[in-house]
Amino acid sequence: MGLVTWILILFAMVLFSYYAARMAKRNTDDGIRDAGLAILEFGRAFPNEAIRSLHVTADGGAVFVRLHDNKAGFMRNMRSHYACHLIEPGTVRVRDLADGRSFAIEFLDAPYHNGQFTFTSPMEAAEVSLWLLGNYVSARDLDQLAGPAGAS
């Protein structure tokens, strides 16, 4: 009787370790590669923002979102959930990296999102950096640059 009990306990331990290993592998391999999932998650976080387009990083760990009014958003896989962030004008610093497919971002209002982001092509990296550049200057600053309404 004791041998059967130990065999069942050993079998349960092997089964549990197999299940835990599969779950750990799934968590490390999961990225936001599915555009539909990114749209749903970002839409759930910001229901009043219409998504215009999005680009996923090469590793699937982050998604950059262009919104309808030329604002930008950011979504990052945080293992058990997705963190969505609306990038406000003037709250991000972007630095180009040497390979042309990646850049480093410093979020002034959310430093835990800082990092280096690599895309599959230089064109994708350039497009996302243009989104961020367009979002870098606030509307008030653009109005000041334009000058008074009647001046020519």
Task: State pLDDT tens for residues 80-113.
Answer: 778 898 988 888 888 888 888 999 999 888 888 8
| pLDDT at 34 exceeding the cut of 80 | no
Min mean pLDDT across 10-14, 42-46, 124-128, 135-139 is at 135-139
Angle at 63 between CA 58 and CA 64, to 5 degrees: 115
How far apart CA 123 and CA 111 sit, in angstroms, is 26
How far apart (Å, rounded) are the C-alpha atoms in residues 51 and 2? 62
CATH number for 35-142 (one of 2.30.29, 2.40.50, 1.10.10, 3.30.310): it is: 2.30.29
From residue 36, alpha-carbon distances to 27, 40, 79, 86 in Å are: 19, 6, 18, 18
pLDDT value of residue 141 = 60
Q: What is the pTM of this model?
A: 0.67
Q: Which helix (H) or strand (E) holds 133?
A: helix 122-134
Q: What pLDDT is recorded for position 130?
A: 85
